[in-house]
Amino acid sequence: MTEEHADPAAVLERWETSGGHWRVLARSEGSVVVGLFTCDGGEEMGRVTASSAELDGVLAGRTRSDDGEV
């Protein structure tokens, strides 16, 4: 299920804050598709599709929510 959201950055931030994981599934010149996964990273629960500009600040060069974790 792919959904368009009024504030896709807020959706990703809430998902991550709630313990869920996300991963960039596809990226084109102007858009990005991000999968929303359960807290163990196993099951995809949904997708967010947005313009790259809407998500660049949240993604910050990462391709998944656990990029950069130690």
Residue 66 lies in a domain: no
Examine residue 70 and state whether it is found in any structural domain, yes or no: no
Residue 37 lies in a domain: yes
Report which residue type is found at 41.
G
pLDDT digits (tens), the chain, 70 positions: 445 557 999 999 999 999 999 999 999 989 999 999 999 878 999 999 999 999 999 998 899 998 865 4
pLDDT at 59: 92
Q: What is the pLDDT of residue 35?
A: 96
Residue 30 lies in a domain: yes
* Residues of the domain holding 34: 2-59
Smallest CA-to-CA distance from 53 within 35, 36, 28, 17 is with 28
Q: Which pLDDT value is given to residue 66?
A: 87
Query: Is residue 64 one of the residues assigned to a domain?
Result: no
Evaluate whether residue 51 is within a structural domain: yes
When divided into structural domains, the chain yields a total of 1
In a domain, 17, yes or no: yes
Name the nearest CA neighbour of 59 among 26, 23, 28, 29. 23
Q: Is residue 67 included in any domain, yes or no?
A: no
